[in-house]
Chains A and B, each alone.
Chain A
Amino acid sequence: AMAAGLERPQVVSHAQQALSYTLFDCKWVPRSARLLCLGSAARGSGLLQLYELRGGRLVLLREIEKAKPLKCGTFGATSLQQRYFATGDFGGNLNIWNLEAPEIPVYSVKGHKEIINSIDGVGGLGIGEGAPEIVTGSRDGTVKVWDPRQKDTPVANMEPVQGESKRDCWTVAFGNAYNQEERVVCAGYDNGDIKLFDLKTMSLRWETNIKNGVCSVEFDRKDVNMNKLVATSLEGKFHVFDMRTQHPTKGFASVSEKAQKSTIWQVRHLPQNRDIFMTSGGAGSLHLWKYEYPAQRSKKDSEGAEMGVAGSVSLLQNVTLSTQPISSLDWSPDKKGLCVCGAFDQTVRVLIVTKLNKV
């Protein structure tokens, strides 16, 4: 039994760094062994730190301080040469920074009235087709899509109808960006709503409610015909939706799993294998999952309409790294198995997940 256990992927701790500020997000800089940490300093300002992984240690290369605490960031909408970093902060501002010259942002807009909880980018890094765009979701209940070529106004705005009491948007993700026209945005809210907006037709394509607040949503790949969507929530549950078949009334088929008692803060798919994903939990744990497709992904219902069939999820490995929630997680797009996670114990950890080839 022990031998079988060692055949599974192992999560090896490679390096860690204690920080002197609250860490909200960490991201790998594409095509490098560097990573960005961003968060909120005790004095109420925002901090952005650039680290390099050298010989089992994280070496601080640069520290940038900004007026407002930073909540989230993405490289998703930038080119590989420029590698500009987009951030959302506590004041509702969206900024795009050139890390070589970070004094003045390349693009800046006060996009929301309240904190930007989540940000995603698409169309950059040589992945996918179409214009680079950034989407932000905020506590003010709106989801806005921005094009860095257009100043001040978003190119799409998903907001509550007049008079509707707003609900916090906690997470956003791009998907279905397989050609120049197609693109969707998925948003998760604190009352358990998940909404799928189609940017080509500018309409709401699907919505559902998973009862508990949605902490994180992610498509397994942004740049393909939408395949799978994972949504994680409070109280330890996550749902995997099969996005290939949409039933007219039932929507998308899903399978759900309850991993642990605490909130699942993040889900991130492995860039090199879209059926493997990692979830991070409120109890400081990481779980590595594998999705298995069913024999048939769709079937006909009693009226002859196509409906999807969800597969199954199996746990490959889990490890507890901290006593505090692990709130951010990012896989390196360049080295399979290399990932960074940030926890509320003010520590950023670099991990290596082994044996992913054998899964």
Chain B
Amino acid sequence: MPVWLREHRWRQTASAVYLSLPVRGLRVTPANIFCTDRYLKVSIPPFLFEAILYAPIDDTNSTAKIGNGIIFFTLYKKEEAMWDSLTLANANKEKLQYLRENAVLKAHEKAKEETEAKKVTKQEHKKYALEATMKLEEAERKRIEDLKEKERQKVTKELELWKKQQEDSEKQKRVQKEGELHQEVEQLKERKKEKMNKTSVPNEGASKTRLKATKGCHGSYSMFSENLKEEQLPAPRSATTIKINFTSRVFPTALRESRVAEEEEWLRKQAEARRTVSADLSELEDLKEEEKNPEWLKDKGNKMFATGNYLAAVNAYNLAVRLNNKLPLLYLNRAACHLKLRNLHKAIEDSSKALELLTPPVRDNENARIKAYVRRGTAFCQLELYTEGLQDYEAALKIDPKNKTIEKDAENIRHLIQGTTQDS
């Protein structure tokens, strides 16, 4: 049950009602005050004050002043009249309830309207601001354009002026030249006349030289100066050749041509392969130090292949592969041994393994790949699998089209194939 505040005092003028409501020690905020055009309520729980006003007021302009334990209301009447009392006298419960609800509804509507109005004004403000900025930017842009245009015109004018100067100076030069030429022609005419009057030959000779001399003296200024300059120029250099070298790279291609990614990969693989050591070292403990080095074993194998001891070479390569199964050259060389030993299937196996390890295909491992293809091709042919053999030979030829031996062998295989198909 609320505690009613009833100690209010009021006075009025024709247009306004002044209501003071003591609220002794209570903290009042604007949220506690609720006012519509016919209803006024102050609710500070548990205290409550309400008044059904005698006549409607203008609630938008009416004010409430909170301070010093008192709320002072200034309510502007909608109609100028003197009120009999502040509140409606005979207000029954139902009417009160109805009025209260109505008041709340009205307040809600009002609030809604206010927010709507606010939104609209906000939009308009935004639009205005946007237009204003656009105008400013446009003005700025135009200003710059104008400056640029002025610049352009100024520069064009200068250019025209300079050009005119050039033309004028050239005209002058031309006139000067013509004048000098004219002079020369006149002099030549005179000399000719003189020559014709002369009868003896030696004198002619003399006059000729005189002619040359006069020409040299009175001739056009530029020609004279040019002759002098020519004499001052040094003779052409004696032809010499300077031999140069070009910067070498690991891969002899310029950055623009290199397939750097693949080449890096190949280098990395090689480095890794060299570092690989098989885990199975237990039974190899009684080997000598050098025998544990795949490179050394490979060299040994190569030497034995060279002397014709193919079985021993295979042994060496086998051991090397057990130590490091990532070195393509081991398989490659072992394939060669197997070919010699006529272990054709093994040769094919090893060549294939070698080719597998020789990826990515770069220029660096070209030779190795050619060998692998050729060896595998040979093995196929010896097994009479000529088509497969030809495939490998053609792959080798693709890498090195200029190799005559491979070409010849490929041709032979082709004939063989054609021969056998003809037979069957």
Contact = CB atoms under 8 A, between A and B. Distances in A.
Interface of A: 2, 6, 10, 12, 14, 31-33, 53-56, 79, 81, 130-132, 145, 147, 149-150, 153-161, 164-167, 180-181, 189-193, 195, 197, 199, 202-204, 207, 209, 211-213, 234-235, 334-335, 337-338, 352, 354
Contacts of B156: 14, 56, 352
A35 to B, nearest CB: 13
Contacts of B252: 165
In terms of DSSP, what is the predominant structure of the interface of chain B? mixed
A189 B239 contact: no
B166 A161 contact: no
In terms of DSSP, what is the predominant structure of the interface of chain A? loop
A204 B144 contact: no
A294 to B, nearest CB: 28
Given A31-B166, A212-B255, A338-B159, A195 B244 contact: yes
A180 B144 contact: no
Contacts of B116: none
Interface in B231-260: 233-247, 249, 252, 254-256
Contacts of B192: none
Interface in B185-237: 222, 226, 233-237
Contacts of B234: 130-131, 180-181
B147 interface: yes
B114 interface: no
B124 interface: no
A179 to B, nearest CB: 10
Given A192-B255, A213-B255, A335 B244 contact: no
B299 interface: no
A14 B240 contact: no
Contacts of A155: 236-240
Closest 5 CB pairs of A and B: A147-B236, A155-B237, A191-B254, A209-B247, A157-B241
24 contacts: A2-B140, A6-B144, A12-B155, A32-B166, A32-B170, A131-B237, A150-B236, A156-B240, A157-B239, A161-B245, A165-B252, A191-B246, A191-B247, A191-B254, A192-B255, A193-B246, A234-B255, A234-B256, A334-B166, A335-B162, A338-B159, A352-B155, A352-B159, A354-B151
Contacts of A235: 255
A330 B159 CA distance: 17
B160 interface: yes
Interface residues on B, range: 35 or more
Contacts of A154: 239
Interface of B: 140, 144, 147-148, 151-152, 155-156, 159-160, 162-163, 166, 170, 222, 226, 233-247, 249, 252, 254-256
A246 to B, nearest CB: 18
A33 B163 contact: yes
Nearest to B223: A81
A83 B244 CA distance: 34
Contacts, number: 126
A80 to B, nearest CB: 9
A180 B222 CA distance: 22
A81 B222 contact: yes
B255 A156 contact: no
A153 B239 contact: yes
Contacts of A153: 239
A32 B256 CA distance: 41
Contacts of A161: 243-245
B234 to A, nearest CB: 5
B244 A159 contact: yes
Contacts of B239: 153-157
Contacts of A55: 160
Contacts of B166: 31-33, 334
A165 B256 CA distance: 17
Given A32-B166, A130-B234, A165-B252, A159 B152 contact: no
Given A193-B247, A354-B151, A199 B237 contact: yes
A182 B258 CA distance: 39
A338 B236 CA distance: 35
Contacts of B246: 160, 164-167, 189, 191, 193
Contacts of B235: 131
A354 B152 CA distance: 9
B256 A158 contact: no
A88 to B, nearest CB: 19
A338 B189 CA distance: 47
A225 to B, nearest CB: 19
B145 to A, nearest CB: 11
Given A155-B240, A207-B244, 19 more contacts: A12-B148, A12-B151, A14-B159, A33-B159, A55-B160, A79-B226, A131-B233, A147-B236, A153-B239, A155-B238, A156-B241, A158-B242, A159-B244, A161-B245, A192-B247, A202-B240, A202-B242, A204-B244, A213-B256
B238 A14 contact: no
Contact of B241 (A56, A147, A159): A159
A288 to B, nearest CB: 15
A76 to B, nearest CB: 15
Nearest to A153: B239
A352 B239 CA distance: 43
A272 B237 CA distance: 31
Nearest to A132: B233
